[in-house]
Amino acid sequence: MRFSFPIILEYLKWVFLFFSIFFFSPSLSDPRTSIANLMCQTTNLTANGIFFTNFVSVMEHLSQLITKQQWGYYSIQSPPPSPPIFGFAQCHKDLSETDCQLCFAEARTKLPRCLPAARGRIYLEGCFVRYDDYNFFEENVNQKDDLVKCSPITKLLSDQDIQLEFAERVKEAVRNVTETAMSTSRGGMGEAEVKGGMPGAYALGQCWNTLNSTGCQVCLEDAWKDVEKCLPGAEGRALNAGCYLRYSSQKFFGNWEEEKNGFNGCASLVLALFGAYIGYGRLSKRRKERKKLAGVPSAVNKSNLNFKYEVLEQATDYFSASNKLGQGGSSSVFKGTFPDGRIVAVKRLFFNSRQWVDDFFNEVNLISGIQHKNLVRLLGCSIEGPDCLLVYEFVPNKSLDQILFDKNKTQILSWRQRFNIILGIAEGLAYLHEGSKVKIIHRDIKSSNILLDDNLTPKIADFGLVRCASADKSHLSTGIAGTLGYMAPEYLLRGQLTEKADVYAFGVLALEIACVLQNVWRHYKDGTITEVFKSSFNGDDFQNKETSNVLQIGLLCTQTSATLRPSMSEVVKMLMIKGSAIPSPKQPPFLNASVLAPTDSTMSSAMNTDNTDWHTTIDVLPANSTTEPASMASPESDEASMIKKCEPSMERGKRLIYHSSTPPPAFYLLVDLRRDLEGKMEKIGEM
């Protein structure tokens, strides 16, 4: 097979680019989010709803402090019987601001596993978060809870002479770390490398900022006494109340001062991943195929989708907090104003993995090619600077959740407005499923991903989790991603993804928009469905038949069996055509997980999916429950009595969900639910 000179030249260009990146070794962003240890104090439990609310509030304040200064502490004192709560968080000082925020975000999703314990702490390799029921801020050592973790001896350290040499290097490195940390008045940190042979020794010590130099010295010296016992193991960690100490035969920390002057993280990661692949594709395939495999960065740069990073930086006033519109787990959104007066929304993404790179190009590729009145329009992107940026049309009237769940009720939607929003979302989803060139499954339909313009026209946003489905496949098998409470049962428990997962999420959302919070199925069966929320609407636009239809459609969409749910195009017809036949729902919209989970381990795996962005209108029963859902039980049955006992905790859960700035994960609600069920635990077994 022969190649023309231009093709070979182009191939060499990509090879040179790839090897330049590889050999010059740019330091990519690493927030060090792997868990060193999660400690929960199980002997001191609380099922107090106020404590859970305070926990959420403390985490929110710590998040703000981490963003501002990379550490912080906060406490809330509540009247008895609720215990006080003290919270602390700090990143290791070698992390960048972005990596620090990513590390804290990861810790924040894992720490609630300790609830209902009143005490918990989590050590990630790059940060530390703790909550407790007493003031521990100046505590340097806690002999009861402090922990040391050792790794085994590796092949590299199998020789006894090498072991002795390695031990001496580790001692020297730790001594340097301690001296460096003590030289700082508060929150000292030191990192050291001792090379000159094989293997090298690397150490990092970090004291929390609440400790002075004396307390830091006490903590690190105590930590060394414990971690020294790990030698000649290749790694050792001491996880103390006031500090973190680690040594290793491999370098595990970064020099942020050097990284700031290096090749920018986003561009280097993108080019390293795609450079060699693109070069090989262009060399080995025909010209037509080579064009299809051409890299997204090149395609973007040659199209009108490309924006200069500096232009977007200036438009957002250098990503000023005053222009910040919102923040998610992997991105922040800012309002940007161009010199000509045009207003846009700029999404600033934080990358720390290949998956996030995939999500970025997924979003660029898909929504740059689709246009619909109910979909947010992508205007372009930038991959030139230290962050990857997406540019969207600006939608001025907030997201739907900010209006629906506004505790101040500054804007109450009329029924007509709610109906039009529901219809618009349905039309947007129908276009994604059936109107575009490929079937697109959004995977994360929820109220916070619905934006409203000046006319309250809904626009579906956040396409980072979308998946394309081919016509010859009944479903996709994929990792779980999305928001608990909006996730279809077959997807949550088995990972089976079809467009019916979006239909399920739409059904949940439609019920939320219609102001229905509970007992939907019971009212539907009793013929009193519109009485649930009739008093919520004022004026002449409230129509019994129309509202009844919407709720019936919501129930249809949230049935447990995917085959019983309608398609989105059918939903649009049912909403738009008056008098159209609407099938009667055959199943209540409540997830009885034991019906779907083949084994306990499957359910455990599903429920370990972490997502703090959580709210739901779907009642959740314990995984081992053999009862029917509440709506199916007769009034005289024990099951109905059990469900009655759940109502207080469900009401408390709703208050937590709708009146907290950060909705709680499902585990909070299940803990509270368990307390109400304790009198009937013999009926359902252990949860």
H helices present in 191-295, as ranges: 213-227, 256-260, 265-284, 287-292
**pLDDT tier for residue 426 given thresholds of 50, 70 and 90:** very high
The phi, psi pair for 456, rounded to 5°, reads 60, 25
Identify the pLDDT of residue 481: 54
Q: Domain spanning 295-393 has what CATH number?
A: 3.30.200.20
Residue 233 has pLDDT above 80, yes or no: yes
**pLDDT tier for residue 486 given thresholds of 50, 70 and 90:** confident
Identify the pLDDT of residue 275: 54
Residue 602 has pLDDT above 50, yes or no: no
Residue that has been written with the tokens 């990146």 in this structure: 21
Chain segment 411-420, per-residue pLDDT in tens: 678 889 999 9
- How is residue 375 annotated by DSSP? B
Question: Which of residues 319 and 33 earns the better pLDDT score?
Answer: 319
Give the highest mean pLDDT range of 198-202, 535-539, 616-620. 198-202
Residue 263 has pLDDT above 50, yes or no: no
Question: Which of residues 246 and 599 earns the better pLDDT score?
Answer: 246
- How is residue 190 annotated by DSSP? E
Range in 32-36, 159-163, 555-559 the model is least confident about: 159-163
What are the residue numbers of the active site?
444
H or E element that contains 191: strand 189-194
**pLDDT tier for residue 210 given thresholds of 50, 70 and 90:** very high
Architecture per CATH, domain 400-589, reads as: Orthogonal Bundle (1.10)
| Nearest C-alpha neighbor of 240 from the set 262, 266, 221, 259 | 221
Interatomic CA distance for residues 40 and 112, integer angstroms: 10
Range in 85-94, 122-131, 544-553 the model is least confident about: 544-553
Percentage of the chain exceeding pLDDT 90 = 26
Give the start-to-end residue ranges of the domains of the chain.
35-137, 150-258, 295-393, 400-589, 595-684
Q: Domain spanning 150-258 has what CATH number?
A: 3.30.430.20
N-term to C-term CA, the chain: 65
pTM of the model: 0.46
Interatomic CA distance for residues 468 and 481, integer angstroms: 15
| Half-sphere CA count of 312, side-chain side, radius 13 A | 26
Chain segment 649-683, per-residue pLDDT in tens: 555 555 544 444 444 444 344 444 444 444 333 33
Q: Which CATH number fits domain 35-137: 1.10.490.10, 3.60.10.10, 3.40.50.720, 3.30.430.20?
A: 3.30.430.20
> Do 150-258 and 400-589 share a fold?
no
Percentage of the chain exceeding pLDDT 70 = 59
347 annotated as belonging to a binding site for a ligand: yes
Q: CA 281 from chain center: how many Å?
A: 34
Identify the pLDDT of residue 675: 46
Chain segment 113-130, per-residue pLDDT in tens: 888 888 999 999 999 999
H helices present in 540-622, as ranges: 544-557, 568-576, 593-596, 600-607
Query: Residues 460, 509: contact at Cβ < 8 Å?
Result: no
Identify the pLDDT of residue 637: 37
Interatomic CA distance for residues 632 and 220, integer angstroms: 60
Chain segment 331-364, per-residue pLDDT in tens: 789 999 999 999 999 988 765 444 555 556 655 6
Asked if residue 629 has a cis previous peptide bond (ω within 30° of 0), the answer is no
Question: Which of residues 219 and 186 earns the better pLDDT score?
Answer: 219
